[in-house]
Amino acid sequence: MAPNLDSFFQTVDSNADAFIERLRQAVAIPSISADEARRQDVVKMGMFLKAQLETLGAKMEARPLGKQPGKEHLELPPAVIGRYPAKKQEGKRTILVYGHYDVQPAEKSDGWNTEPFELSVDDKGRMYGRGSTDDKGPVLGWVNVIESHQKAGVDFPVNLLMCFEGMEEYGSEGLDDFIVAECKPGKFFEDADAVCISDNYWLGTEKPCLTYGLRGCSYYSIEISGPGQDLHSGVFGGTAQEPMTDLTRVMGSLVDTNGKIQIPGLYELVAPLTKEEQSLYSNIAFTMDNLYESLGSKTGIFDKKEETLMGRWRYPSLSLHGIEGAFSQPGAKTVIPAKVTGKFSIRTVPDMEPHEVDSLVFSYVKDQFAKLSSKNKLNVFLQHSGKWWVASPNHWNFTAAAKAVEKVWKIKPDLTREGGSIPVTLTFEQATGKNVLLLPMGSSTDAAHSINEKLDRKNYIEGIKLLGAYLHYVAEEPTS
């Protein structure tokens, strides 16, 4: 029997302004995990979330995760875990939800039109602010679902287990071991029947999707040093071997203009494309214009949608991110940097094993550097790595979510994979032994990680209905 969701939906609508206020409070906390100086704000955001859920009667705990690897003076932000209702309701399914309360860095001077840590809602209902779509809106979605059930007087359909972390944007440091430990018999996540993660986006702006795959991410640094200190290029240019010259040549040898990775052997690790998989791409609601709209330009690598989707979902990519120690201010400073660290990452796909990728990367970088016959010193190392994940969408968890999408958005969702990474997805799947679903709230134009990140009011409010409806359908779905 289809659940009656009317009074829950009406309550979401009538509390919409309060839910936006809650998002405003959350966005105001600059919980940037990559910035040591902001660590107290990350903790503050975790505590804000915990307090909001406690007020609603959930049983919450902030679990310490220890020191940050490589930065022993720095405590990791806690895993905020919880259960709602506080006491387990026997005979109901238990759904474990995950999200992250940390955000990417943001400065107004990066090019934002508004203050990044002040939620700013325009007349079209676009709610701008760092973390609005990634991932504070979706995380608060779960809080709003609980509150709406209470206000509507509707029985909560499942036991909800929650796991919210504060280091996702930095590779989920410390969380893997914690999840594995808490999925053991007698521990907090022991009785999860399925997992739901709301931390990705629709492919376009009109059609919702359910996501069953993510790429992995292996993040590397190349450090090149030589002189004892920064030098004057007038005095030493032409007499000293320059680290930056070596670094840009090594970095420039990693990938070409069309995204082709130059590391020998890397593509041999990639699972071949089957006919069955190939046939999936043309049916996905995605156009080249969706890509151009999100890019803000027409500088895509491929002209066809199928190749574009495959380039994003099922082939590896290598991106160059930045150079630490290089001169990057405006103006013209005649410096020779003494030590520079180049950063790049590889998005990995089935069947690439991270340690095999590492050894191909290390030997290629060393070979390229050796070819330069430089007297400078090279050090190449891995910063973090998270594995790719591909699951089966033929499961009651996905069937229930598809019904919820149809109920709320009046359209069947596409089944998609994604190019981004959520490192703990595979860990949840392996540690619980249960199905994991990605159920996005925001859309392709939300600009996560970029300037002017936003979440549309409609996606937030209908997204709250979607998360709630999903819990009702999941409670009723027969075992598949």
If the CB atoms of residues 242 and 446 are measured against Zn ion, the closer one turns out to be 446
Cα–Cα distance list, 356 to 216, 228, 359, 423 (Å): 13, 35, 5, 18
443 binds ligand BES (CB under 6 A): no
Instruction: For residue 472, say whether it is annotated as part of any ligand binding site.
Output: no
Q: Whose Cβ is closer to ligand BES: residue 160's or residue 448's? A: 448
Q: Does 420 bind ligand BES (CB under 6 A)?
A: yes
Q: Which of 144, 200, 443, 452 binds ligand BES (CB under 6 A)?
A: 200
| From 1-9, 47-55, 165-173, 427-435, span contacting ligand BES (CB under 6 A) | 165-173
90 is in an annotated binding site: no
C-alpha 408/C-alpha 5 separation (Å) is: 10
Angle of CA points 53, 55, 58, to nearest 5°? 50
Near Zn ion by CB under 5 A: residue from 32, 98, 117, 134: 134
What is the C-alpha separation between 255 and 112, in angstroms, rounded? 30
CA–CA distance, 194 with 437 (Å, rounded to integer) = 8
- Residue 418 as a binder of Zn ion (CB under 5 A): the answer is no
Spell out, one character per residue from 157 to 196, where the chain touches Zn ion: x when CB under 5 A holds, - when not: ----------------------------------------
Among 193, 414, 418, 446, binds ligand BES (CB under 6 A): 418
What distance, in Å, lies between the first and last C-alpha atoms of the chain? 17
Q: State how far the Cα of 189 lies from the Cα of 180, in Å rounded to an integer.
A: 9
* Rounded CA separation 365/221 (Å): 11
The response to whether 199 counts as a known ligand-binding position is yes
Residue 35, marked binder: no
Give the one residue of 135, 147, 173, 193 binding Zn ion; rule: CB under 5 A: 135
What CA–CA distance (Å, rounded) separates 417 from 313? 6
Residue 125 CB, nearest distance to ligand BES (Å)?
22
Q: Which is nearer to ligand BES, 3 or 131 (CB)?
A: 131
What is the x/- site pattern for ligand BES, positions 54-83, by CB under 6 A? ------------------------------
Question: Given the structure tokens 């007349």, which residue do they identify?
Answer: 123
Q: Which is nearer to Zn ion, 431 or 441 (CB)?
A: 441
Q: Minimum distance between the CB of residue 215 and ligand BES, rounded to whole angstroms?
A: 8
347 is in an annotated binding site: yes
* 134 in a known ligand binding site: yes
Residue 370's Cβ-count burial label (10 Å; 0-12, 13-18, 19+) is exposed
Q: Nearer Cβ to ligand BES, position 85 or 386?
A: 386
Within 190-219, the residues that bind Zn ion by CB under 5 A are 199
Strands (E), 366-449: 377-386, 389-390, 414-417, 436-438
Q: Which amino acid is at 326?
A: A
Report d(CA 262, CA 239) in Å as an integer.
31
Closer CB to ligand BES, 294 or 368, in the complex: 294
- Which positions from 91 through 150 interact with ligand BES, judged by CB under 6 A? 134-135
169 annotated binding-site participant: yes
**Measured between alpha carbons, how far is 371 from 262 in angstroms, rounded to an integer?**
15
Tell which residue, 230, 223, 240, 189, has the closest CA to residue 336: 230
With left for phi above 0 and alpha for psi between -120 and 50, is residue 282 left, alpha or beta? alpha
CB atoms closer than 10 angstroms to residue 431: 20
Q: Which is nearer to Zn ion, 312 or 339 (CB)?
A: 312
Which of Zn ion, ligand BES, none sits in contact with 246, Cβ below 5 to 8 A by type? none
Nearest by Cα to 88 from 217, 193, 231, 203: 193
Is 193 one of the binding residues for ligand BES (CB under 6 A)? no
The number of residues that bind ligand BES (CB under 6 A) is 16
Give the interface with ligand BES as residue ranges (CB under 6 A).
134-135, 168-169, 171, 199-201, 217, 386, 418, 420-423, 448
- What is the contact surface with Zn ion in residues (CB under 5 A)? 134-135, 199
- Residue stretches of the annotated binding site for Mn(2+): 100, 134, 169, 199, 449
| Binding site listing for substrate | 199, 232, 334, 347, 421, 449
